[in-house]
Amino acid sequence: MEKQLTKLNIFSVKGIQMRTFHITWLMFFVCFFGWFGLAPLMPTIRAELHLTKGQVGNIIIASVSATIIARLIIGKLCDTWGPRKTAIRLLLIGSLPVFFVGLAHDYTTFLLFRLAIGIIGASFVITQFHTSMMFAPNIKGTANAVTGGWGNLGGGVTNMVMPLIFAAIVGFGYTKADAWRYAMIVPGVMMLVIAFLYSKYTKDTPNGNYDEIGYTAGKSSKTDWKILADWRVWALTLAYAMCFGMEITFDNVASLHFVDSFHLSQSQAGFWAGIFGFMNLFARALGGIVSDKVGGKFGMRGKGLLLAGVLLLEGIGLILFAQSGTLLIAIVSMLSFALFLKMANGATYGIVPFVNSKNVGMISGIVGAGGNLGGMMFGFLFKSDTITYVQAFTYIGYTVMVVAVIVFVTRFVKKPVTVDQPETSVMAGSMA
């Protein structure tokens, strides 16, 4: 009988656990690539569709708002359908607006397509849930952080690659108005390929799929609403709004900010915005690794203090970035706040699986939705005609610091597990 892994060998593809590990982060990577594929092309799209600053802000808000509801639903579906079926269906349905956004020729239709594309951001919940099923508690935070970070890397890669795909299509003789549309076919095809891989090479649990092992048999399908009374869930939701919410906001506005503030070309702006995303290659994993190490030595209280600390440093870095007068200072300060922001992402989900071991899927969905809620709220700042991007970054920096204090005073104490539900099994995310 297969068991949860107690070690993470990222270079291995042996066993259902490691195959699932690699396919699930790749699934999130591809979804992130499609989710933010339009962001680095917005200077072109803004000009072609004659978008105002307020309309661009609405598009930013739309791109993350649909994901809020989707993540709540996907968390519940992972508990009931299983992560494998949930992932395949999300990929197939989510690929449709990615393929067809090129049919948009005015602000309203583009806004609606951008809203629909946002549902694929819920893939994150599947990745975190599926990874939790495959790894034991001692390594769960690290494994979740690596899959989350490598998946988020799609936001950096798309900022770099999509302008190149766009330029290549223009090089073949197509107009810029056509090129951004055809470019979006690429992530759509990638999503279909991953749906096939997910279907063929993954399982819901180390022991098999839900329907093969009778995983849901005899279990209540009622939602355990008692978790909504747990303040720790909301503290983590606030924390994730400040780190992941800021990450997806920056993925959306970075290219426009670098073009408008430092007069870079679309490709140059995409490159530097991509560097921000590339920090996910190691920074989110670092947050998870440190969280596991701190948790082993100082328990859940230590994990909470770590999260508060990196959030505080993220807020300070954001304020410094906002005040940058030159491109060099902007890049250095961006890399600084990016490091702590992405570590905060990993540190948050280093705590999530331990808050309520019988409702990991639902809590992952709530906290994940909090990230998008933060992104949506931040979008209103960037939409405003009276608030500059510099002011918006400054306000967010101070808000992040306030949330760091809230996390600092929250007591993350792990509740005991009953005798008939051993920790190694329930930590995987079963739902009573």
Residue 18: both structure tokens together: 């490691």
Residue pair 84/135 in contact (Cβ under 8 Å)? The answer is no
Q: Tell me the percentage of the chain whose pLDDT exceeds 90.
A: 72
Check the CA dihedral 240-120-271-181 and report its sign: negative
C-alpha to C-alpha distance for 211 and 170, rounded to whole angstroms: 49
Three-state DSSP class for 308?
helix
Exposed/middle/buried for 1, CB within 10 Å: 0-12, 13-18, 19+? exposed
pLDDT digits (tens, 9 = 90+) for 141-179: 889 889 988 998 998 999 999 999 999 999 999 999 999
**Rg of the chain (C-alpha set):** 21
Residue pair 124/258 in contact (Cβ under 8 Å)? The answer is no
- Tell me, what amino acid is at 377? M
Give the bridge partners for 5, in sequence order: 135
Q: How many CA atoms lie within 13 A of 143 on its CB side?
A: 29
C-alpha to C-alpha distance for 327 and 414, rounded to whole angstroms: 45
Residue pair 251/39 in contact (Cβ under 8 Å)? The answer is yes
Exposed/middle/buried for 287, CB within 10 Å: 0-12, 13-18, 19+? buried
User: Please, which pLDDT band fits residue 195 given cuts at 50, 70 and 90?
Assistant: very high
What pTM did the predictor assign?
0.82
| pLDDT of the residue at 419 | 37
pLDDT digits (tens, 9 = 90+) for 326-385: 999 999 999 999 999 999 999 998 898 888 877 777 888 899 889 989 999 999 999 988
| pLDDT of the residue at 217 | 43
CA distances from 25 to 126, 148, 204, 300, 330 (A): 10, 7, 15, 26, 30
C-alpha to C-alpha distance for 71 and 331, rounded to whole angstroms: 32
Which region among 17-26, 35-44, 75-84, 215-224 has the lowest average model confidence (pLDDT)? 215-224
- Tell me, what amino acid is at 412? F
